[in-house]
Amino acid sequence: MENKKAYVITGPTSGIGYETALELAKHGTVILVGRSKEKLQQVEKTIQQAGQNAVSIVCDISDMTSVKHAAQKIIDLKLPLAGLLNNAGIMPQKATKSAQGWDMTFATNHLGTFALTEALAPYLSESANVVNIASAIEDPERKPAKIMGMKGGQYISAEASARGEWKKGGTKLAGIDAYATSKQCVLASTLAFSRENERLRFIAVEPGITAGTGLGAGDTPAFLRAIFGFIFRYMPPFSKYSSTPKKSAIVITKILTDTSNKTGIYFDEKGQPMRGSELAHDIKFQDRVVSETHALLAKYKIKLVAANER
Ligand SMILES: NC(=O)c1ccc[n+]([C@@H]2O[C@H](COP(=O)([O-])OP(=O)(O)OC[C@H]3O[C@@H](n4cnc5c(N)ncnc54)[C@H](OP(=O)(O)O)[C@@H]3O)[C@@H](O)[C@H]2O)c1
Protein backbone atom coordinates (compact mmCIF):
# COMPACT_ATOMS: atom_id res chain seq x y z
CA MET A 1 0.00 0.00 0.00
CA GLU A 2 1.63 3.22 -1.10
CA ASN A 3 0.18 5.76 1.29
CA LYS A 4 2.45 8.04 3.22
CA LYS A 5 0.53 7.87 6.44
CA ALA A 6 -1.81 5.43 8.17
CA TYR A 7 -4.33 6.10 10.91
CA VAL A 8 -5.84 3.50 13.24
CA ILE A 9 -9.47 4.03 14.24
CA THR A 10 -11.57 1.87 16.57
CA GLY A 11 -15.34 1.75 16.17
CA PRO A 12 -15.49 2.92 12.52
CA THR A 13 -18.68 1.01 11.73
CA SER A 14 -21.26 3.44 13.13
CA GLY A 15 -21.99 7.03 14.18
CA ILE A 16 -19.07 9.37 14.83
CA GLY A 17 -16.46 6.71 14.03
CA TYR A 18 -17.97 5.90 10.64
CA GLU A 19 -17.98 9.54 9.51
CA THR A 20 -14.48 10.03 10.91
CA ALA A 21 -13.14 6.99 9.03
CA LEU A 22 -14.43 8.47 5.75
CA GLU A 23 -12.93 11.85 6.60
CA LEU A 24 -9.60 10.35 7.68
CA ALA A 25 -9.32 8.40 4.43
CA LYS A 26 -8.59 11.74 2.72
CA HIS A 27 -5.33 11.88 4.73
CA GLY A 28 -3.95 8.36 4.36
CA THR A 29 -4.67 4.67 4.79
CA VAL A 30 -7.30 4.01 7.42
CA ILE A 31 -6.87 0.92 9.59
CA LEU A 32 -10.42 0.06 10.59
CA VAL A 33 -10.65 -1.78 13.93
CA GLY A 34 -14.07 -3.20 14.78
CA ARG A 35 -15.88 -6.25 16.09
CA SER A 36 -17.98 -7.09 13.01
CA LYS A 37 -16.17 -8.38 9.93
CA GLU A 38 -19.18 -7.68 7.69
CA LYS A 39 -19.61 -4.10 8.89
CA LEU A 40 -15.86 -3.46 8.53
CA GLN A 41 -15.90 -4.79 4.96
CA GLN A 42 -18.76 -2.42 4.14
CA VAL A 43 -16.82 0.62 5.41
CA GLU A 44 -13.66 -0.59 3.66
CA LYS A 45 -15.60 -0.90 0.40
CA THR A 46 -17.07 2.61 0.72
CA ILE A 47 -13.58 4.06 1.24
CA GLN A 48 -12.07 2.08 -1.63
CA GLN A 49 -14.89 3.10 -3.98
CA ALA A 50 -13.87 6.70 -3.32
CA GLY A 51 -10.37 5.78 -4.54
CA GLN A 52 -8.87 5.76 -1.03
CA ASN A 53 -7.19 3.08 1.09
CA ALA A 54 -8.51 1.11 4.03
CA VAL A 55 -7.70 -2.17 5.72
CA SER A 56 -9.82 -4.01 8.30
CA ILE A 57 -8.79 -5.65 11.56
CA VAL A 58 -11.42 -7.57 13.48
CA CYS A 59 -11.19 -6.86 17.20
CA ASP A 60 -13.51 -6.97 20.18
CA ILE A 61 -12.05 -4.07 22.10
CA SER A 62 -13.65 -5.26 25.37
CA ASP A 63 -11.63 -8.50 25.19
CA MET A 64 -7.96 -8.08 26.11
CA THR A 65 -6.89 -11.20 24.20
CA SER A 66 -8.58 -9.88 21.07
CA VAL A 67 -6.91 -6.48 21.56
CA LYS A 68 -3.54 -8.19 21.87
CA HIS A 69 -4.00 -10.12 18.61
CA ALA A 70 -5.37 -7.07 16.79
CA ALA A 71 -2.41 -4.94 17.89
CA GLN A 72 -0.01 -7.55 16.53
CA LYS A 73 -1.87 -7.64 13.20
CA ILE A 74 -1.71 -3.85 12.96
CA ILE A 75 2.04 -3.89 13.66
CA ASP A 76 2.55 -6.62 11.07
CA LEU A 77 0.99 -4.37 8.39
CA LYS A 78 4.21 -2.32 8.70
CA LEU A 79 2.46 0.89 7.76
CA PRO A 80 3.73 4.25 9.03
CA LEU A 81 1.29 4.75 11.92
CA ALA A 82 0.74 8.52 12.12
CA GLY A 83 -2.12 8.40 14.61
CA LEU A 84 -4.43 6.30 16.76
CA LEU A 85 -8.06 7.22 17.37
CA ASN A 86 -9.68 5.35 20.26
CA ASN A 87 -13.33 5.97 19.42
CA ALA A 88 -15.16 2.68 20.14
CA GLY A 89 -17.51 3.04 23.07
CA ILE A 90 -20.77 1.83 24.55
CA MET A 91 -23.40 3.08 27.00
CA PRO A 92 -25.76 0.17 27.68
CA GLN A 93 -28.48 0.38 30.31
CA LYS A 94 -27.97 -3.18 31.48
CA ALA A 95 -24.67 -4.32 32.96
CA THR A 96 -23.07 -7.33 31.25
CA LYS A 97 -19.67 -9.00 31.50
CA SER A 98 -16.72 -9.00 29.09
CA ALA A 99 -14.67 -12.06 28.05
CA GLN A 100 -12.47 -11.53 31.12
CA GLY A 101 -15.55 -11.28 33.36
CA TRP A 102 -15.23 -7.52 33.74
CA ASP A 103 -17.94 -4.88 33.51
CA MET A 104 -18.58 -4.56 29.76
CA THR A 105 -18.80 -0.75 29.71
CA PHE A 106 -15.58 -0.29 31.70
CA ALA A 107 -13.79 -2.98 29.65
CA THR A 108 -14.84 -1.49 26.29
CA ASN A 109 -14.46 2.20 27.01
CA HIS A 110 -11.44 2.33 29.30
CA LEU A 111 -9.58 -1.00 29.47
CA GLY A 112 -9.69 -1.66 25.71
CA THR A 113 -8.60 1.90 24.91
CA PHE A 114 -5.79 1.67 27.46
CA ALA A 115 -4.56 -1.77 26.32
CA LEU A 116 -4.58 -0.93 22.60
CA THR A 117 -2.76 2.34 23.25
CA GLU A 118 -0.05 0.64 25.30
CA ALA A 119 0.36 -2.14 22.73
CA LEU A 120 0.68 0.22 19.76
CA ALA A 121 2.55 3.10 21.43
CA PRO A 122 6.09 1.84 20.66
CA TYR A 123 5.11 1.32 17.01
CA LEU A 124 3.52 4.72 16.38
CA SER A 125 5.61 7.25 14.45
CA GLU A 126 7.56 9.91 16.33
CA SER A 127 5.15 12.67 17.54
CA ALA A 128 2.07 10.71 16.42
CA ASN A 129 -1.24 11.78 17.94
CA VAL A 130 -3.22 9.42 20.16
CA VAL A 131 -6.75 10.81 20.33
CA ASN A 132 -9.16 9.35 22.88
CA ILE A 133 -12.87 10.02 22.68
CA ALA A 134 -13.97 11.01 26.17
CA SER A 135 -17.33 12.37 27.32
CA ALA A 136 -18.30 15.44 29.32
CA ILE A 137 -20.65 13.19 31.27
CA GLU A 138 -17.68 12.40 33.54
CA ASP A 139 -17.93 15.92 35.01
CA PRO A 140 -20.63 16.36 37.69
CA GLU A 141 -20.51 20.14 37.17
CA ARG A 142 -21.17 20.09 33.40
CA LYS A 143 -24.48 21.87 32.82
CA PRO A 144 -26.39 19.46 30.54
CA ALA A 145 -25.29 16.45 32.58
CA LYS A 146 -26.31 18.16 35.82
CA ILE A 147 -29.79 19.01 34.46
CA MET A 148 -30.29 15.36 33.52
CA GLY A 149 -29.42 14.19 37.04
CA MET A 150 -26.03 12.77 36.17
CA LYS A 151 -23.40 12.78 38.90
CA GLY A 152 -20.13 12.29 37.01
CA GLY A 153 -17.58 9.50 37.46
CA GLN A 154 -18.01 7.24 40.50
CA TYR A 155 -14.55 5.68 40.68
CA ILE A 156 -13.59 3.50 43.64
CA SER A 157 -10.67 1.64 42.05
CA ALA A 158 -9.91 -0.04 38.72
CA GLU A 159 -10.62 -3.43 40.31
CA ALA A 160 -13.97 -2.25 41.67
CA SER A 161 -14.90 -0.74 38.28
CA ALA A 162 -14.02 -4.04 36.61
CA ARG A 163 -16.42 -5.71 39.05
CA GLY A 164 -19.09 -3.15 38.10
CA GLU A 165 -19.03 -1.36 41.46
CA TRP A 166 -19.38 2.42 41.64
CA LYS A 167 -19.16 4.93 44.48
CA LYS A 168 -22.44 5.44 46.35
CA GLY A 169 -24.36 8.63 45.54
CA GLY A 170 -24.30 8.15 41.78
CA THR A 171 -27.13 8.66 39.33
CA LYS A 172 -30.43 6.79 39.27
CA LEU A 173 -30.15 6.41 35.48
CA ALA A 174 -29.16 2.86 34.60
CA GLY A 175 -25.74 2.37 33.04
CA ILE A 176 -24.65 5.98 33.51
CA ASP A 177 -22.30 5.49 36.48
CA ALA A 178 -20.42 2.83 34.52
CA TYR A 179 -20.26 5.06 31.43
CA ALA A 180 -19.24 8.24 33.29
CA THR A 181 -16.60 6.41 35.34
CA SER A 182 -15.11 4.71 32.28
CA LYS A 183 -14.90 8.04 30.45
CA GLN A 184 -13.35 9.75 33.50
CA CYS A 185 -10.67 7.06 33.40
CA VAL A 186 -10.17 7.67 29.66
CA LEU A 187 -9.63 11.39 30.28
CA ALA A 188 -7.41 10.88 33.35
CA SER A 189 -5.21 8.33 31.52
CA THR A 190 -4.92 10.57 28.46
CA LEU A 191 -3.63 13.42 30.62
CA ALA A 192 -1.28 11.07 32.55
CA PHE A 193 0.17 9.62 29.32
CA SER A 194 0.75 13.12 27.97
CA ARG A 195 2.97 13.83 31.01
CA GLU A 196 4.76 10.49 30.91
CA ASN A 197 5.38 9.95 27.21
CA GLU A 198 7.57 12.52 25.49
CA ARG A 199 7.61 10.75 22.13
CA LEU A 200 3.85 10.83 21.42
CA ARG A 201 1.02 13.37 21.74
CA PHE A 202 -2.07 12.51 23.79
CA ILE A 203 -5.34 14.36 23.29
CA ALA A 204 -8.90 13.79 24.54
CA VAL A 205 -12.00 14.93 22.68
CA GLU A 206 -15.57 15.45 23.88
CA PRO A 207 -17.49 15.05 20.59
CA GLY A 208 -20.61 16.83 21.82
CA ILE A 209 -24.13 15.54 22.40
CA THR A 210 -24.57 13.69 19.13
CA ALA A 211 -28.00 12.25 18.46
CA GLY A 212 -28.63 9.62 15.81
CA THR A 213 -25.63 7.40 16.57
CA GLY A 214 -25.81 3.87 17.94
CA LEU A 215 -24.81 4.97 21.45
CA GLY A 216 -27.33 3.66 23.96
CA ALA A 217 -29.54 2.53 21.09
CA GLY A 218 -29.46 -1.18 21.88
CA ASP A 219 -31.64 -1.14 24.96
CA THR A 220 -33.19 2.34 24.90
CA PRO A 221 -36.75 2.46 23.51
CA ALA A 222 -36.90 4.14 20.06
CA PHE A 223 -39.50 6.76 21.10
CA LEU A 224 -37.29 7.88 24.01
CA ARG A 225 -34.34 8.22 21.66
CA ALA A 226 -36.43 10.27 19.24
CA ILE A 227 -37.53 12.63 22.03
CA PHE A 228 -34.00 13.00 23.34
CA GLY A 229 -32.66 13.47 19.82
CA PHE A 230 -35.03 16.41 19.36
CA ILE A 231 -34.28 17.95 22.76
CA PHE A 232 -30.52 17.64 22.33
CA ARG A 233 -30.53 19.19 18.90
CA TYR A 234 -32.90 22.10 19.35
CA MET A 235 -33.41 22.99 23.03
CA PRO A 236 -31.07 25.14 25.09
CA PRO A 237 -28.89 24.51 26.97
CA PHE A 238 -28.40 21.14 25.24
CA SER A 239 -28.31 22.59 21.71
CA LYS A 240 -25.22 24.64 22.65
CA TYR A 241 -23.30 21.41 23.26
CA SER A 242 -24.80 19.36 20.42
CA SER A 243 -23.11 18.11 17.29
CA THR A 244 -23.68 15.70 14.41
CA PRO A 245 -21.50 12.73 13.42
CA LYS A 246 -20.32 14.66 10.34
CA LYS A 247 -19.37 17.77 12.31
CA SER A 248 -17.61 15.68 14.96
CA ALA A 249 -15.74 13.81 12.23
CA ILE A 250 -14.30 17.06 10.87
CA VAL A 251 -13.21 18.26 14.31
CA ILE A 252 -11.69 14.89 15.29
CA THR A 253 -9.87 14.45 11.96
CA LYS A 254 -8.35 17.91 12.25
CA ILE A 255 -7.06 17.07 15.73
CA LEU A 256 -5.79 13.60 14.75
CA THR A 257 -3.91 14.84 11.68
CA ASP A 258 -2.56 17.98 13.35
CA THR A 259 1.24 18.19 13.35
CA SER A 260 1.74 21.09 15.74
CA ASN A 261 2.79 18.80 18.61
CA LYS A 262 -0.03 19.70 21.01
CA THR A 263 -0.31 17.27 23.91
CA GLY A 264 -2.31 16.93 27.12
CA ILE A 265 -5.26 18.92 25.76
CA TYR A 266 -8.95 18.17 26.09
CA PHE A 267 -10.98 19.56 23.18
CA ASP A 268 -14.72 20.15 22.97
CA GLU A 269 -17.10 19.51 20.06
CA LYS A 270 -15.99 22.73 18.36
CA GLY A 271 -12.31 21.88 18.67
CA GLN A 272 -11.80 24.40 21.48
CA PRO A 273 -9.84 23.48 24.64
CA MET A 274 -12.13 22.64 27.58
CA ARG A 275 -11.83 21.55 31.23
CA GLY A 276 -13.02 18.23 32.48
CA SER A 277 -13.95 17.41 36.07
CA GLU A 278 -11.67 18.58 38.87
CA LEU A 279 -10.90 14.93 39.62
CA ALA A 280 -9.81 14.08 36.07
CA HIS A 281 -7.32 16.99 36.21
CA ASP A 282 -5.95 15.88 39.59
CA ILE A 283 -2.49 14.43 38.93
CA LYS A 284 -2.70 12.03 41.88
CA PHE A 285 -5.99 10.67 40.55
CA GLN A 286 -4.57 10.34 37.03
CA ASP A 287 -1.55 8.41 38.32
CA ARG A 288 -3.77 6.17 40.46
CA VAL A 289 -5.99 5.31 37.48
CA VAL A 290 -2.94 4.45 35.37
CA SER A 291 -1.19 2.34 38.02
CA GLU A 292 -4.38 0.50 39.01
CA THR A 293 -5.23 -0.16 35.36
CA HIS A 294 -1.72 -1.51 34.80
CA ALA A 295 -2.13 -3.83 37.77
CA LEU A 296 -5.47 -5.08 36.48
CA LEU A 297 -4.14 -5.67 32.97
CA ALA A 298 -0.89 -7.23 34.19
CA LYS A 299 -2.41 -10.67 33.77
CA TYR A 300 -2.95 -9.95 30.10
CA LYS A 301 0.38 -8.19 29.67
CA ILE A 302 0.60 -7.39 26.02
CA LYS A 303 4.05 -8.48 25.03
CA LEU A 304 4.57 -7.74 21.38
CA VAL A 305 7.58 -8.55 19.30
CA ALA A 306 8.01 -6.61 16.10
CA ALA A 307 7.84 -8.80 13.00
CA ASN A 308 11.48 -8.01 12.09
CA GLU A 309 12.69 -9.13 15.55
CA ARG A 310 11.06 -12.56 15.43
N1 LIG B 1 -23.15 10.20 20.75
C2 LIG B 1 -22.86 11.04 21.72
O3 LIG B 1 -23.67 11.89 22.12
C4 LIG B 1 -21.51 10.95 22.40
C5 LIG B 1 -21.18 11.93 23.35
C6 LIG B 1 -19.94 11.86 23.99
C7 LIG B 1 -19.06 10.84 23.68
N8 LIG B 1 -19.41 9.90 22.75
C9 LIG B 1 -18.44 8.84 22.44
O10 LIG B 1 -18.20 8.82 21.04
C11 LIG B 1 -17.76 7.51 20.65
C12 LIG B 1 -18.54 7.04 19.44
O13 LIG B 1 -19.90 6.87 19.83
P14 LIG B 1 -21.15 7.01 18.84
O15 LIG B 1 -22.09 7.95 19.47
O16 LIG B 1 -20.70 7.23 17.46
O17 LIG B 1 -21.79 5.56 19.03
P18 LIG B 1 -22.03 4.34 18.02
O19 LIG B 1 -22.71 4.81 16.79
O20 LIG B 1 -22.71 3.27 18.82
O21 LIG B 1 -20.55 3.84 17.65
C22 LIG B 1 -19.79 3.06 18.55
C23 LIG B 1 -18.75 2.29 17.77
O24 LIG B 1 -17.99 1.51 18.72
C25 LIG B 1 -17.98 0.15 18.26
N26 LIG B 1 -17.88 -0.81 19.37
C27 LIG B 1 -18.69 -0.94 20.45
N28 LIG B 1 -18.28 -1.96 21.21
C29 LIG B 1 -17.18 -2.49 20.63
C30 LIG B 1 -16.32 -3.56 20.93
N31 LIG B 1 -16.50 -4.35 22.01
N32 LIG B 1 -15.29 -3.83 20.10
C33 LIG B 1 -15.10 -3.06 18.99
N34 LIG B 1 -15.88 -2.05 18.63
C35 LIG B 1 -16.92 -1.75 19.45
C36 LIG B 1 -19.31 -0.02 17.53
O37 LIG B 1 -19.27 -1.17 16.72
P38 LIG B 1 -20.62 -1.87 16.14
O39 LIG B 1 -20.97 -1.12 14.89
O40 LIG B 1 -20.18 -3.27 15.91
O41 LIG B 1 -21.67 -1.73 17.20
C42 LIG B 1 -19.35 1.30 16.77
O43 LIG B 1 -18.54 1.24 15.61
C44 LIG B 1 -17.94 6.63 21.88
O45 LIG B 1 -16.71 6.48 22.55
C46 LIG B 1 -18.89 7.43 22.74
O47 LIG B 1 -18.79 7.11 24.10
C48 LIG B 1 -20.60 9.94 22.09
What DSSP assignment string belongs to 79-127? --EEEEEE------SS--B-TTSSBHHHIIIIIHHHHHHHHHGGGEEEE
Contact 249, 23 (CB under 8 A): yes
d(Cα 187, Cα 204) in Å, to the nearest integer? 6
Q: How far is CA 161 from CA 54, 61, 166, 308, in A?
A: 35, 17, 6, 38
Name the residue with the closest Cα to ligand 1, atom 36: 11
Each residue's pLDDT tens digit, 56-69: 999 999 999 999 99
Residue nearest to atom 23 of ligand 1 (CA): 11
Name the residue of 39, 90, 109 to mutate for ligand 1: max ligand atoms within 8 A of Cβ.
90
Evaluated on CA atoms 72, 181, 216, 15, the torsion sign reads: negative
Quickly state the pLDDT bin for 237 (edges 50, 70, 90): confident
Query: In whole angstroms, what is the distance from residue 37 CA to residue 28 CA?
Result: 21
- Range 27-35 average pLDDT: 98
Number of the ligand 1 atom closest to the C-alpha atom of 16: 16
Average pLDDT over residues 166-171: 95
Q: What pLDDT, on the 0 to 100 scale, is given for residue 1? A: 46
Q: Is 52 helix (H, G, I), strand (E, B) or coil?
A: coil
Residue nearest atom 5 in ligand 1 by C-alpha distance:
209
Domain spanning 6-299+301-305: which superfamily?
NAD(P)-binding Rossmann-like Domain (3.40.50.720)
Percent of the chain with pLDDT over 90: 81
Alpha helices in the chain (DSSP H): 15-24, 37-49, 64-76, 104-106, 112-120, 143-147, 158-162, 176-196, 222-234, 245-257, 283-297
Residue 61 Cβ inside 6 Å of ligand 1? The answer reads: yes
Mean pLDDT estimate for the chain: 92
Task: Give CA 91 to chain center in angstroms.
Answer: 12
Whether the bond into 207 is cis, omega within 30 of 0: no
Q: How confident is the model at residue 303 (pLDDT cuts 50, 70, 90)?
A: low
Residue 129 has pLDDT above 50, yes or no: yes
Atom 45 (ligand 1) nearest CA:
89
32 lines ligand 1 (CB under 6 A): no
Residue 8: CB atoms within 10 A of its CB come to 30
Residue 120 Cα to chain centre, angstroms? 15
Most ligand 1 atoms within 8 A of CB, residue of 113, 116, 209, 215 to mutate: 215
Higher-pLDDT residue of 272 and 242 is 272
Whether ligand 1 lies within 6 angstroms of the CB of 191 is answered as no
Atom of ligand 1 nearest to the CA of 10: 34
- pLDDT grade, residue 226 (50/70/90)? low
Report CA-CA distances (Å) from 220 to 172, 231, 243: 15, 16, 20
Q: Global pTM?
A: 0.95
pLDDT computed for residue 112 by the predictor: 98
Q: Is 11 left (phi over 0), alpha (psi -120 to 50) or beta?
A: left
- The tens digit of pLDDT for each residue in 135-159 reads 999 999 998 888 888 899 999 999 9
Instruction: Give the number of other CB atoms < 10 A from CB of residue 20.
Output: 29
- The percent of residues in the chain predicted with pLDDT above 70, rounded, is 92
Which of helix, strand or coil describes residue 58? strand
Q: Is the CB of 185 under 6 A from ligand 1?
A: no
pLDDT at 291 over 70: yes
310: confidence class by pLDDT, cuts 50, 70, 90:
very low
